[in-house]
Amino acid sequence: MKWDAWGAEAAATHLSADIKNLLVGVLGISGDPIDAPTADQVRLSPTRLTDTDLDALRAIVDAVSTADGDRLIRSGGKSTLDLLRRKQIEQAAPDGVAIPASDDEVHALLQWCALSEVAVVPFGGGTSVVGGLDPDSGEHRATLSVDLRRFDELIAIDTVSGQATLGAGVTGPAAEQLLAEHGFTLGHFPQSFQFATIGGFAATRSSGQASAGYGRFDDMVTGLRVVTPVGTLDLGGAPKTAAGPDLRQLFLGSEGTFGIITQVTVRVRRIPQVTIGEAWHFPDFASGADALRAVAQQGGGPTVMRLSDEAETGVNLARPAEIGAGDQGGARSGGCLAITTFEGTDDVAAARRDLTAALFSAAGATSMGAEPAHAWAHGRFNAPYLRDALLAIGVGCETLETATTWAELADTKAAVATALTTAIEESGSPALVLCHISHTYPTGASLYFTVVYRATDDPIGQWLHAKSAASQAMIDSGATITHHHAVGADHRPWLADEVGDVGLRVLRAVKSALDPTGILNPGKLIP
Ligand SMILES: Cc1cc2nc3c(=O)[nH]c(=O)nc-3n(C[C@H](O)[C@H](O)[C@H](O)COP(=O)(O)OP(=O)(O)OC[C@H]3O[C@@H](n4cnc5c(N)ncnc54)[C@H](O)[C@@H]3O)c2cc1C
């Protein structure tokens, strides 16, 4: 993973001259590259760990570093805010990095940190988009990034029950590869799939693009091992239990503030025999949303089901390589694009497709065939590279998401889009706001927004203003502050609105029981 951008070096996207000219015309940018330091030019805050600290840490773990390169790569996640910070000369970073290899080492590290007043930021794939990896030391004297990459094994697989235990540091592709050797799949494909980890998915309640068929990551988890400063919990076992509240739920979404997840047991499924892709054209977003609701409420439908609004359809966001080439490559004008996939045996996938097609057709959809769905599947992990190319020429680009009930969906979409547009326009730039329905449930859906605008001389302040307006609009319209990106530092000011004062007291009580000195991920999740 690059330190200042998304993804692998070789996979960078370069904007075509046509797109650049379009952006110059629409946003009024110059098109020239903006200033950004190389890694060598960045000045990190000096480490506050002493030689005595490092000796103590190295007695616990053999991989401990205070090298600038190791600290820089773990100094944040991959939100636009993070990437804008990476363009500054002076940057904050954790004071050191430790890479433990066993539960015992994690426990010893936590105990040493608690005694030594050193904060701990658990680090998975480094793909947080909510400030979950900010090197915040809180009340403590230093910050240690604890990287889980050595927890990289398939620990066990039970092919009879359909469940597998994976180390927290296993990445998305590694998990699929390890499970495929036994004929199974996890079916969790967030856009950050290539770099994010099993532990990170659990810690943030991640949701993947195939959630209509496989569920969210928290639906897949059957067991967890969590190491805390006061001891280790092994949770899960029986498929369901009435033995009191489900403690696994305390740790799903705990974002490294209650403990470090070292193993996750997940429900896995046999690799499907076939996957059919099909795209659909709806006359407008309202009819498309009604159709997705009908399918989600009926059940037995697609594995992937998403609907772009008119603006997103118009700019071709489903095909990052062809942005601006006209909707669906010019095949149709107006309306909205929906993408579906269906899995199973030949018969099951076909039956699921037919059930969905009947409801879609009744809502005015026409099939566009398989090709646009294949194009989406082919390019679905590429869009984040585009953001880097935009930021490099002074175009702001960020995504944010929420979820609400079907009854409130249209109002929430309008409120968030208006808040974003108004806030960006107040900064002096036009705003292009795109949206799609990314995850569906019988009772509601998540809305995923992309906003593109001209960055000002204060791009961080500009984005914080827009993000704050959008977050407030979500809360005011009764939607959640986050459907799957988590809370981190960025959404923390709105958590009280979401869970109430008593809810916050419960979370604080749990934290103080598990982490009495408050070393775990200060400044995240709990205000
Ligand atoms: C381009 C892009 C696309 C994305 N698309 C999606 C998407 O489609 N769906 C989605 O759900 N999310 C998405 N995300 C957000 C992000 O990928 C998820 O939140 C992911 O689950 C984070 O996993 P990670 O391993 O990278 O964790 P990190 O980013 O390393 O950490 C995330 C948080 O969890 C904590 N943490 C990490 N590992 C552990 C552990 N083992 N124990 C305890 N705490 C831990 C960290 O301290 C941090 O607070 C996207 C992000 C980017 C940059």
220 lines ligand 1 (CB under 6 A): no
Pocket test for ligand 1, best of 127, 436, 526 (most atoms within 8 A of CB): 127
Measured in Å, residue 351 CA sits from the centre of ligand 1 at 35
Residue whose Cα lies nearest atom 48 of ligand 1: it is 132
What pLDDT score was predicted for residue 318? 58
Give 229-247 pLDDT, tens digit per residue: 999 999 998 999 999 999 9
Q: Which atom of ligand 1 is nearest to the CA of 197?
A: 25
Pocket test for ligand 1, best of 79, 120, 147, 192 (most atoms within 8 A of CB): 192
450 lines ligand 1 (CB under 6 A): no
Task: Tell me the Ramachandran region of residue 488: left when phi exceeds 0, alpha when psi lies from -120 to 50, beta otherwise.
Answer: left
pLDDT higher than threshold 70 for residue 331: no
Measured in Å, residue 398 CA sits from the centre of ligand 1 at 16
ipTM of the complex: 1.00
Give 148-180 pLDDT, tens digit per residue: 999 999 999 999 999 999 999 999 999 999 999
Q: Which atom of ligand 1 is nearest to the CA of 259?
A: 43
Measured in Å, residue 150 CA sits from the centre of ligand 1 at 17
403 lines ligand 1 (CB under 6 A): no
260 lines ligand 1 (CB under 6 A): yes
For the chain, give the percent of residues with pLDDT over 70.
97
Q: Are 487 and 495 in contact (CB under 8 A)?
A: yes
Q: Are 366 and 341 in contact (CB under 8 A)?
A: no
From the list 305, 407, 282, 287, the residue with the least C-alpha distance to 356 is 305
Mean pLDDT of 10-29: 86
Pocket test for ligand 1, best of 121, 128, 144 (most atoms within 8 A of CB): 128
128 lines ligand 1 (CB under 6 A): yes
479 lines ligand 1 (CB under 6 A): no
Q: Which atom of ligand 1 is nearest to the CA of 79?
A: 53
Per-residue pLDDT band at 333 (split at 50, 70, 90): low
What torsion do the CA atoms of 501, 507, 512, 515 make, to the nearest 10 degrees?
Answer: -150
Give 337-393 pLDDT, tens digit per residue: 999 999 999 999 999 999 999 999 999 999 999 999 999 999 889 889 999 999 999
Measured in Å, residue 100 CA sits from the centre of ligand 1 at 19
What pLDDT score was predicted for residue 44? 97
398 lines ligand 1 (CB under 6 A): no
Mean pLDDT of 286-308: 98
Q: Are 327 and 318 in contact (CB under 8 A)?
A: no
H or E element in which residue 236 lies: strand 231-236
6 lines ligand 1 (CB under 6 A): yes
Distance between CA atoms of residues 394 and 397, nearest Å: 9
Task: Return the half-sphere exposure (C-beta side, CA atoms, 13 A cut-off) of residue 430.
Answer: 8
121 lines ligand 1 (CB under 6 A): yes
Query: What is the sign of the dihedral through the CA atoms of 108, 111, 112 and 113?
Result: positive
Measured in Å, residue 144 CA sits from the centre of ligand 1 at 18
Measured in Å, residue 485 CA sits from the centre of ligand 1 at 7
